[in-house]
Amino acid sequence: DRGEQDGRQFIVFEYVDGENLKSLVEREGPLPEAEAIGLTLQVARALGFAHEHGLVHRDVKPQNVLLNGDGRAKVTDFGIARSLEVHGGLTQTGTVLGTSDYIAPEQARGSRVDAQSDIYSLGAVLYELLTGDVPFPGDNFVAVAMRHINEPPPSVRERRPDVSPRLDAAIRRAMAKDPRDRFGSMDELCRELTACLEAEGATSGAETMVAAPRRKLTRRERRAMRPPAERPNVWPLILLLGGLAVLAGIL
């Protein structure tokens, strides 16, 4: 919310008692694949909601994702967000806004920025969640921005071979240099990430076996399961009875 009191303007934010996504990665390191996808899905749905209402964030980064005690992600800091309906694009030509570690190529060039730019930045965030590092590290803003403009998106599997090829491909598509080669919307990205999450869950659960409850065995079944050494030898008894029968016949 926003308002004014005693000549002072103010804005109101929800208080989130937790940490941001950047501090989580710095503390935990690379996250498990399922956890990284789950958090990214929450951010993607929030950004998709903003896009549906005509807003693009333009500064998607882990520092702007707050985590409460229940593990829910809150996307915040729309300080440089602009309306998708602004004439001529969201960013004035030659103006660069955003954080260079996650900046889309067109945003780094000062070109038109739209929802596709948020998709690129979110792909960079997911890369960091899985590897513990940004996709294009550098010494300064310009050096990093130039790498985003010129270098192809790195493969997560080069750093973490255990990550599924499908998820790796989804990240590289989200970070495509040409916005037309990225996902068409946040909803499309969410559908692909959901499919990756379901595939990962099916793989991890493949080794789980469900055993039926054991029933009580009958006496005959227990005797049949005894090792041969433990089974009673009945032949002496049979021979004894047979000898007695022959003796009785003679008498």
Active-site positions read: 59
3-state class (DSSP) for residue 153:
coil
Cα–Cα nearest to 150, from 165, 166, 162, 136: 136
3-state class (DSSP) for residue 3:
strand
Q: Which amino acid is at 36?
A: A
Distances (CA, A) of 90 to 67, 94, 107: 28, 12, 10
3-state class (DSSP) for residue 62:
helix
What residues have CB less than 8 Å from 187, skipping those under 6 apart? 48
What residues have CB less than 8 Å from 105, skipping those under 6 apart? 120, 148, 149, 177
Cα–Cα nearest to 81, from 89, 90, 73, 72: 90
Phi–psi pair at 199, nearest 5 degrees:
-65, -40
> Quick check: 130 and 197 in contact, CB under 8 A?
no
User: At which residue do the structure tokens 């954080």 appear?
Assistant: 99
